[in-house]
Structure 1
């Protein structure tokens, strides 16, 4: 294993200087080189936030999964660390798949899926088990092998998320049984010997043939089951991406079944959001990060030597209606630099230029919906991305249009009731993250503007639009 880790870290050091920076993010966590997907092992240990992630360092393509590793004092400024895990043992020879991290005393423990297959793309030739690796310094990890075998007759069994309730460890694992998704719950006293406790299953929870990246945690006085189902059919404006990520709010206590109190709903309505994982900050906030990309979607940055990034860390809360809301963690405000203030007020059937080169920016917009009569009004970034209110459909739309890159289309959410609409938008080199009405909805999408096509403007068509507030901050890298 040491040789494989050394080879991976050497390759990264040798090739990182060659990564093209044209779309590389300024304030999102991305791989130094090569491929990134799911966030793994989000935790706090020895004075740092740690973020691991699915990583293939040798190409900007999915490959035998390693665990990349970064740490931060504030969840915003990340320091890349050596690769933590490489596929090396019989249990994980074809990939160290997704998992989680917990702190047990002075030890940081990684619980992950060991993946192996014989090369033929059929389930009978795929084998997945849960494995353990431990560290005393948070930098180097010792594999301890398999701790949970695959249930009989099952092949898809992955993405363990572990947490502690009193003196007992619990684990949820995604599983595919007879072409239906389930989540199994296990318990342990020592992270090494696990006993099956119960299953969460059924179409009353969610459809789909596989439920990936499960997470079960308390938020306020509710229990939230968060997971990423595969195989949900598109339904009107819903489930437009290949795979989804969302949650079910309900109740669960050790020894009792999970009881859903609300239907499954998507956590993010943009083009690119998958496999979110949660963790608890030292001051008790529940925070998630997700993969800001989507399977089988074009990723033009591959040509630049890297692919994939993680979302901003988002604090979760329960709204008065019992819905899960998300907002970027308050630490993001420490990146704010130069402030820009505009006073467009009311404008009619025109574009209002705001900034020529928007690359690392936080924008706050408040629209007076009650007095805005335009059929469409909103904000645009160059010729390829727009966020607007469609007054006829009564929806908020995130539209991207990069036909040369085979990336076009829109995503949308209902226009909330109320006289005013608040938008908080984060623009990075190749991404947009939009938070609506203090986290009532979020939309996250990748974008690919050319360097000379980043003008930020307001617009309205066929009528007037009224802006109560319009300002922005440049964000530090």
Structure 2
């Protein structure tokens, strides 16, 4: 018997309820978007609708491993306190037989419209497939109906490989525009552009941007928007080789920035810049909210990485929401949205304007912490400064700034990343090193010098926390501020 869409959605909900009862909570995140149970990956459909923020995500409600993709769903009034909503999309219709893959969402005059990729295996064993683009609509922002017109784009352009996914849609003037992650037949990553008057009939415009042979075989999860007068194209290229401290993860996320002309579809841009230099940051998507902010959320995991939470009945999480801005050099900066101060419960001012040599431990067994540390480098003689998230039995995550080399080094080797546990990134800190850090039960997000560098990684402590330790190596360090806050668990 063929299940109806509603049957499939109901089954997914029932499976999640059962899986929730068996969860092990040891690594469960306290203030990040996670599914009620089982697997999630890419954020999808970031949108503001009727005054609330909606985030959808790639979700497998039946297993802690990746599988036939559904769309999970959460919403919030303030980007901080999230609530789970029922699964929004389930695959299995003619337009999306084997998966409702990534996409985006728009508010079309009070109708919430999801635009997503339908996945269809032609030979699952050999990973051969076709992909098309579909829409689903909702009046209430909770229950969605797939459009009768699906697929709204049935197949990719003639010069294209079968990789044809992750639609991002926005409105400019009277027209809707859609970009898609794509590859040419000879495996060159690119982003292609379509235009529509009604979200149903789409006209192919052409290539928005394409690799010159150095930027991977496929560009996933594109996003395109204006930021402070420039146009930014976010992409997640697959197939980049590591170059020193760059591109050390399985796949990357970064941006091209430049000038764009809608009349000619010409995007003149600079080189690819990686957005985050930690271990676990991919498939970022953005929305522009009613305050005019460009807000980004990424998947806080990485393909083919060690994921110990699978043993606990869940896997995958999304990053904190980050506001994107441009600095004077046209670098995209990411910083935590202002609302995240709502998470703060108790403030602990450890000290200010104090010199340290060696180390200083602020004892706390708190799991959920926001940390603010500032070093005055003009009065620092140490070769390296930084902090450690200390645990019992010598467990630790270390962030070290090498003053002379101007390099930030994150070492999670002793917190569950035995292999490939170190990430590095350049940071010209100048006179001061300012660190804002969000620590959850199994994650750390580091924002250095107001977003000049960010590093996001999952960590997997086996033991209780001991505290936060500041250190100075081979000399003294002047600490302007050392403050931390205990944070709320929004899911409890």
TM-score norm. by structure 2 comes to 0.93
361-370 vs 375-384, which moves further: 375-384
Secondary structure of residue in 1 paired with 2:261: coil
Q: Deviations over 1:352-395 (max 9, x none)?
A: 11132131111111112233232332110122301111235331
| In structure 2, C-alpha distance between the alignment counterparts of 1:34 and 1:206, rounded to whole Å | 36
- For the 8 Å contact 1:114–1:128, the answer to whether it is kept is yes
Q: 2:20 aligns with which of 10, 13, 16?
A: 16
Count, aligned residues = 475
Question: How far apart are 1:419 and its partner, in Å?
Answer: 1.2
Is residue 67 of structure 2 the alignment partner of residue 67 of structure 1?
no
| In structure 1, C-alpha distance between the alignment counterparts of 2:266 and 2:337, rounded to whole Å | 29
| Correspondence list, 1:79-90, <5 A | 79-90=83-94
| In structure 1, C-alpha distance between the alignment counterparts of 2:280 and 2:333, rounded to whole Å | 18
| In structure 2, C-alpha distance between the alignment counterparts of 1:74 and 1:324, rounded to whole Å | 23
Residue matched to 1:111: 115
Q: 1:137 aligns with which of 129, 137, 140?
A: 140
| Correspondence list, 1:183-202, <5 A | 183-202=191-210
Residue matched to 2:422: 410
Is residue 321 of structure 2 the alignment partner of residue 313 of structure 1?
yes
Residue matched to 1:165: 172
| In structure 2, C-alpha distance between the alignment counterparts of 1:7 and 1:417, rounded to whole Å | 52
Question: How far apart are 1:255 and its partner, in Å?
Answer: 2.6
Residue matched to 2:247: 239
Is residue 435 of structure 2 the alignment partner of residue 423 of structure 1?
yes
- For the 8 Å contact 1:250–1:258, the answer to whether it is kept is no
Q: 2:413 aligns with which of 401, 413, 424?
A: 401
Secondary structure of residue in 1 paired with 2:20: helix
Residue matched to 1:282: 290
| In structure 1, C-alpha distance between the alignment counterparts of 2:341 and 2:363, rounded to whole Å | 20
Secondary structure of residue in 2 paired with 1:342: strand
| In structure 2, C-alpha distance between the alignment counterparts of 1:205 and 1:105, rounded to whole Å | 41
| In structure 1, C-alpha distance between the alignment counterparts of 2:71 and 2:281, rounded to whole Å | 20
Is residue 355 of structure 2 the alignment partner of residue 346 of structure 1?
yes
376-385 vs 131-140, which moves further: 376-385
Residue matched to 1:292: 300
Is residue 188 of structure 2 the alignment partner of residue 176 of structure 1?
no
Q: 1:257 aligns with which of 265, 280, 283?
A: 265
Secondary structure of residue in 2 paired with 1:3: helix
Q: Deviations over 1:59-115 (max 9, x none)?
A: 111000000001100111110010000111122111100000001112100000000
Residue matched to 1:150: 155
- For the 8 Å contact 1:205–1:263, the answer to whether it is kept is no
**Structure 2: gaps (5+ residues):** none
- For the 8 Å contact 1:298–1:407, the answer to whether it is kept is no
Q: 2:397 aligns with which of 385, 388, 395?
A: 385
Residue matched to 2:60: 56
Q: Tell me: CA distance 1:406–1:418, structure 2 relative to 1, closer, same or farther (3 Å).
A: closer
| In structure 1, C-alpha distance between the alignment counterparts of 2:71 and 2:410, rounded to whole Å | 32
Secondary structure of residue in 1 paired with 2:40: strand
What's the C-alpha RMSD, in Å, of the aligned pairs? 1.6
Question: How far apart are 1:408 and its partner, in Å?
Answer: 4.5
| In structure 2, C-alpha distance between the alignment counterparts of 1:52 and 1:93, rounded to whole Å | 20
Q: Tell me: CA distance 1:405–1:367, structure 2 relative to 1, closer, same or farther (3 Å).
A: closer
| In structure 2, C-alpha distance between the alignment counterparts of 1:267 and 1:261, rounded to whole Å | 16
Q: Tell me: CA distance 1:359–1:3, structure 2 relative to 1, closer, same or farther (3 Å).
A: same
Q: Tell me: CA distance 1:93–1:387, structure 2 relative to 1, closer, same or farther (3 Å).
A: same
Residue matched to 2:345: 337
| In structure 1, C-alpha distance between the alignment counterparts of 2:7 and 2:438, rounded to whole Å | 40
Secondary structure of residue in 2 paired with 1:244: coil
Q: Tell me: CA distance 1:404–1:221, structure 2 relative to 1, closer, same or farther (3 Å).
A: closer
Question: How far apart are 1:205 and its partner, in Å?
Answer: 9.2
Q: Deviations over 1:28-83 (max 9, x none)?
A: 10111000100000001122110000000111110000000011001111100100
Q: Tell me: CA distance 1:426–1:476, structure 2 relative to 1, closer, same or farther (3 Å).
A: same
| In structure 1, C-alpha distance between the alignment counterparts of 2:429 and 2:307, rounded to whole Å | 36
TM-score norm. by structure 1 comes to 0.96
Secondary structure of residue in 1 paired with 2:226: strand
| In structure 1, C-alpha distance between the alignment counterparts of 2:438 and 2:376, rounded to whole Å | 21
Q: 1:102 aligns with which of 106, 112, 116?
A: 106
Secondary structure of residue in 1 paired with 2:132: strand
Residue matched to 2:227: 219
199-208 vs 393-402, which moves further: 199-208
Is residue 468 of structure 2 the alignment partner of residue 456 of structure 1?
yes
